[in-house]
Amino acid sequence: MHKTQDKDRIAYCGVNCSICPAYVATQRQQEKVRVRIAKLWSDKDHTYEASEITCKGCHEPWGQKFRHCQECAVRACARKRLYATCAECNEYPCSKLNNLHKTLDKKIARINLNDLRCNNKAG
């Protein structure tokens, strides 16, 4: 895994929460940035308000999460199976994960999960 990544901040799907704009803006309490992110991430199918661009990380059990992450089927599946990430799953990569990665920067997320899988097998 890349040294700049914090293993605890890798979401179930492989996204590095510590560089996610919603997470960073929440941690830094940057209201103007949250407004810009809401406009940037909104499209004809999804409209976001700045108040929804609040996230304390995918693994935070009680903290606020970005709406998409809160409703995420991949997150729900991994939590149900008690996995830290999808890298632990025997069905990796499944259709839920592949569908999610179509909407994300899948290359980065996939690299994170593959690195975790290699680390899990090695030790």
Number of domains in the chain: 1
Domain that holds residue 79: 7-122
Residue 93 lies in a domain: yes
- Ramachandran bin of 9, using left for φ above 0, alpha for ψ from -120 to 50, beta for the remaining angles: alpha
Q: What is the pLDDT of residues 58-108, one digit of tens each?
A: 888 777 777 777 888 999 999 999 999 999 999 999 999 998 888 776 555
End-to-end CA distance of the chain: 14
Residue 64 lies in a domain: yes
Over residues 32-58, the mean pLDDT reads 87
Confidence (pLDDT) at 116: 74
Residue 1 lies in a domain: no
